[in-house]
Amino acid sequence: MTLTPHNEADAAYVIRNAAAGGTTLAIVGGNTRSGFGNAFACHDTLSSSGLTGIVDYEPAEMVMTAKAGTPVAEIEAALSANRQMMAFEPMDHRGIMGTTGEPTIGGVFAANASGPRRFVAGAARDSLLGIRFVNGKGEIVRAGGRVMKNVTGLDLVKLLAGSQGTLGFLIEVTFRVLPVPQTVETIVISGLDDAVATQAMAVAMAMPVEVSGAAHLPQTVRGRFLSGRLPDGEATVLRLEGLEASVSVRAEKLTAAMAVFGEVSRFGAEDSRHLWQQIRDVAPYAGTPQKPLWRVSVAPSAGHQLVAALRLEAGIDAFFDWQGGLVWMRMEADPEAELLRRYIKALGGGHATLLRAPEQARAVTPAFQPQADAVAALSARVKQKLDPAGIFNPGKMAGA
């Protein structure tokens, strides 16, 4: 059965009842990220789709409050009418997850879904200022607020962001937005192997030019971007955004510095917007739902080493965002979870999340990187404090 409360009080009532009766609830927004996490089964589905609408939006204050079930498209339309945006570039998972439907703003924050700008501008969790949610006891809890600086009490906002619907049912979110940059440009360096590309990106990030996107697209994926119009060879791409006057100056500087690494070309605003959206949404790996897909977060200098090591032992394809620290990795056959996670550990730590895999593989692979025992125990205690009866998405995250 799908429960679709239309106001907070109903949501709280439904959850109180579920807790009392030990009914487990699968929490969904637009269901576009529903394949996340470990496979789990629930008695009922609890949908945020009845809780919609922008509650408050003050463009001058750059803060928006919306009900959790509000479609992202509606939010983005309201923002772009005022030339504003969510700085963390929420990615759209429909392509790679093979899902349909409309992503919701609650789902964005519950999944902490961020895009290429994340490594400089922060993740969804960094833009989230305040929330209202129903905990597992059916109580309506408010955390944070609507101001940018707030250290009043424990930061439950961060805790709920990225908790994948296992700690509470988000009903309202308040988040910070930013002006859309006047212009954007992309510098492409061609023909670098993964290791040299990582070096080049590190050099760019050490320059005072405020690069806001740094990705490396190896040969196997290069052709899948901008309808194949990126120049031949591997493409290392760097994004600059801001006022026209300053972007052009910075682009000159960056071009000069990158010329020592390889052939440099430049792409203007329209191509850039398109390109970074494709990177954000992992365009090369969309539409192949049967092949396992990993999202790996490691230190930027470790990404290419990880890929190099794995290539010797498994059939993989990969590309890099976040200066090399975010690796999108598609496996030819088996997810190779143990191998992958062993290498991540050996290379200094990080985590790999299995976003999709055939059902059989999913059933035996922990979707989120298993954590150290003490951290896992702590997380389980935290879960217990928010959802004592364990009714929200049980088993979706390890120990939760």
Residue 342 is a binding residue for another protein (CB under 8 A): no
Residues between 218 and 247 that touch another protein (CB under 8 A): 243, 245-246
Residue 41 is a binding residue for another protein (CB under 8 A): no
Binding mask 183-202 for another protein (x = CB under 8 A): ----------------x--x
Give min distance, CB of 96 to another protein, in A. 18
Give min distance, CB of 261 to another protein, in A. 15
Sole binder of another protein in the list 81, 147, 256, 260 (CB under 8 A): 147
Binding mask 49-78 for another protein (x = CB under 8 A): ---------xxxxxx---------------
Sole binder of another protein in the list 55, 73, 77, 148 (CB under 8 A): 148
Sole binder of another protein in the list 54, 178, 196, 361 (CB under 8 A): 178
Sole binder of another protein in the list 68, 79, 161, 331 (CB under 8 A): 161
Give min distance, CB of 226 to another protein, in A. 26
Residue 374 is a binding residue for another protein (CB under 8 A): yes
The residue (of 71 and 325) whose beta carbon lies closer to another protein is 325
Binding mask 271-290 for another protein (x = CB under 8 A): --------------------
Residue 154 is a binding residue for another protein (CB under 8 A): yes
Residues between 242 and 271 that touch another protein (CB under 8 A): 243, 245-246, 249-250, 253
Residue 315 is a binding residue for another protein (CB under 8 A): no
Chain-centroid distance of CA 19 in Å reads 30
Cα end-to-end distance, the chain, whole Å = 23
Taking contact as CB under 8 A, which single stretch among the options 67-75, 175-183, 254-262, 286-294 is the one that binds another protein? Answer: 175-183
The residue (of 144 and 284) whose beta carbon lies closer to another protein is 144
Q: Three-class SS string for the chain?
A: CEECCCCHHHHHHHHHHHHHHCCCEEEECCCCCCCCCCCCCCCEEEECCCCCCEEEEECCCCEEEEECCCEHHHHHHHHHHCCEECCCCCCCCHHHHCCCCCCEHHHHHHCCCCCCCHHHHCCHHHHEEEEEEECCCCCEEEEECCCCCCCCCCCHHHHHCCCCCCCCEEEEEEEECEECCCEEEEEEEECCCHHHHHHHHHHHHCCCCCEEEEEEECHHHHCCCHHHCCCCCCEEEEEEEECHHHHHHHHHHHHHHHCCCCEEEEECHHHHHHHHHHHHCCHHHCCCCCCCEEEEEECHHHHHHHHHHHHCCCCEEEEEEHHHCEEEEEECCCCCHHHHHHHHHHCCCEEEEEEECCHHHHHHCCCCCCCCHHHHHHHHHHHHHHCCCCCECCCCCCCC
d(CA 163, CA 160): 5
- 238 contacts 214 by C-beta, under 8 angstroms: yes
Sole binder of another protein in the list 78, 301, 308, 314 (CB under 8 A): 301
The residue (of 223 and 309) whose beta carbon lies closer to another protein is 309
Residues between 67 and 126 that touch another protein (CB under 8 A): 83, 112, 114, 118-119, 122-123, 125-126
Taking contact as CB under 8 A, which single stretch among the options 93-101, 136-144, 223-231, 304-312 is the one that binds another protein? Answer: 136-144
User: With CB under 8 A, what is the number of residues at the site for another protein?
Assistant: 93
